[in-house]
Structure 1
Amino acid sequence: MSTTTVPPSDPLTWKQADIDVHVATRGGEFAGFVEFDGAAHVLRDERGTDLGTYASLDDACDALDAATRPAPRSGLRSVPRSGRRRVRRARA
């Protein structure tokens, strides 16, 4: 397992590894691959998890890009349950 942190702004880089296989990296780290099975483009992530089948190579490439980008962070910070204070309301 890699401990390298890849900035989310790094684009995916695609290389054709075989006639029916395209491999993606992001920041030099393996990100996933697309294999054409004769009928559809099968997408797998860096761990080999099936991410679906797509009609075109471009659709599969776009899907991997979307799947491997971290979710945007909001300006709000979540407070762990253990750090929350319970507010008691006065009864009427």
Structure 2
Amino acid sequence: MLNALDLKFNPKGEFKEFLDRITEYADDRFLFEGREFLSRKDLDQYADRNWNMIFNIWDKELLLCYSNMMDGMYIISRGDSTWGPMESKEKWQEREYEL
């Protein structure tokens, strides 16, 4: 589909590894640099501590993707506290606009 639209999509780093995991092995865990995020809280704490030390834009995009996926899981599960609520929505919006 991307070729038909003449769009280029060449993910790098952790984002590429994520796509490989979900397409080749159906592994949908929230993995990043050898760490697994088991909850929204895990992801938020990691991003708060490390966002400014991540220089690969694709890696930051993956963390944003994880955040959005966890939001969806929170909504679909009708409030499972493992996946939300997002307490730092403004921080995630700032991160998204930064890219």
Mark yes or no: TM-score above 0.5.
Answer: no
TM-score under structure 1 length normalisation: 0.21
| Higher RCO (Cα < 8 Å, 6 or more apart) | 2
Higher strand content, 1 or 2: 1
| Greater share of helix | 2
Q: What's the TM-score, normalizing by structure 2?
A: 0.20
